[in-house]
Amino acid sequence: MNHVLFPLPSEKGKGILVTMTSSGDYLVGPSSEFVDDKDDLSTDAPTLKDVRSQASRMVPNIPFYEQIRVFSGLRATPSTHDFIIEPSKKYADFINVAGIESPGLASSPAIGEYVVEELVRKVLPLKEKKSFNPKIKPYIKVKPMGEEERAKFVREHPNYGEIICNCEQVSLGEIEDVLSRSLPCLTIKAVKKRTRAGFGKCQGGFCQPHVLMLLAQKRGVSPMEILYDKDGSNIILKESK
Ligand SMILES: Cc1cc2nc3c(=O)[nH]c(=O)nc-3n(C[C@H](O)[C@H](O)[C@H](O)COP(=O)(O)OP(=O)(O)OC[C@H]3O[C@@H](n4cnc5c(N)ncnc54)[C@H](O)[C@@H]3O)c2cc1C
């Protein structure tokens, strides 16, 4: 597969697609179901079966036996059937940018510009910060490097030769890099999303304890304080010995 494959869209959305991710894995889905519970992130067998059968109409013989995991998310569907971008009716200084459904990602540069120019600038005097640097330091990944390039790089940066996540080939150097950037990376899931450590077949079975210890070391806290994601998602609950 070299392309994102979409079926014909319907009023429920763009349908079930088959797509290759930027890291070389495949995503099949999503479905689109209305749910009442705002915390319901469960998947169910009939919907997964439907996802499989619809995707198989576009790409026959998808090896579903190699599937790593299934998951679901919640989309906030606005009753206006359009983006809601306006000052809050309760608090004029609070600007709602809500119900940003597809194509919200493609629209985000325009949404940002609109919010700043049309809404913020009218209530706040804005001055350009001359020292602002819009460029971020590139993320160096060893996985896509060729053998020679990787060997040379590792000679100069030995921490990039120590693999922490075997499945996704994420090195110690990559994890140390995200833990040292100005944008805080405080949880195991934050490290996962930035480096892909824990995304692979073993789902963190191998690398999670290492990532946990690196986080604890970097933050200077006890490993028991490190969360997987939200409050209460501590991995280590107590010392046994
Ligand atoms: C399956 C799917 C396919 C899509 N495909 C496309 C596409 O091809 N092209 C395109 O342009 N757009 C696409 N979109 C839409 C796009 O992803 C969204 O428009 C965009 O992500 C909306 O950005 P946002 O920042 O408004 O919300 P989000 O990206 O949803 O960000 C909201 C953030 O707030 C956090 N949050 C929520 N509640 C709380 C809380 N109480 N406390 C703290 N944090 C909280 C969430 O964890 C999340 O990180 C797609 C969406 C889906 C679901």
Do both 151 and 108 map to the same domain?
Answer: no
What's residue 67's pLDDT?
A: 93
In a domain, 163, yes or no: yes
In a domain, 239, yes or no: no
Which residue of 12, 51, 102 sits with most ligand 1 atoms within 8 Å of its CB, as the best mutation to test the pocket? 102
Do both 101 and 159 map to the same domain?
Answer: no
List, in order, residues 6 or more apart from 235 with CB less than 8 Å away: 188, 208, 212, 223, 226, 227, 228
In a domain, 140, yes or no: no
Do both 179 and 212 map to the same domain?
Answer: yes
CA of 74 to the centre of ligand 1 (A): 9
Task: Give the DSSP letter of residue 37.
Answer: -
Ligand 1 atom with minimal separation from the 107 CA: 11
In a domain, 89, yes or no: yes
Q: Tell me the residue range of the domain where 159 lies.
A: 147-225
Does ligand 1 have an atom closer than 6 angstroms to the CB of 112?
Answer: no
The domain boundary, picked from 14, 44, 74, lies at 74
Domain total of the chain:
3
Is a pLDDT exceeding 90 seen at residue 10? no
Do both 157 and 211 map to the same domain?
Answer: yes
Do both 178 and 202 map to the same domain?
Answer: yes
Q: In whole angstroms, give the CA distance from residue 20 to residue 18.
A: 7
Query: What is the model's pTM?
Result: 0.83
Is a pLDDT exceeding 90 seen at residue 240? no
In a domain, 217, yes or no: yes
Work out the pLDDT band at 15, boundaries 50, 70, 90: confident
> What does the mean pLDDT of the chain come to?
93
Distances from the Cα of 74 to the Cα of 32, 67, 71, 91, 163, angstroms: 10, 22, 11, 26, 34
Does ligand 1 have an atom closer than 6 angstroms to the CB of 109?
Answer: no
- List the residue whose alpha carbon is closest to atom 4 of ligand 1: 102
Is a pLDDT exceeding 90 seen at residue 214? yes
Beta carbons within 10 angstroms of residue 199's beta carbon: 20
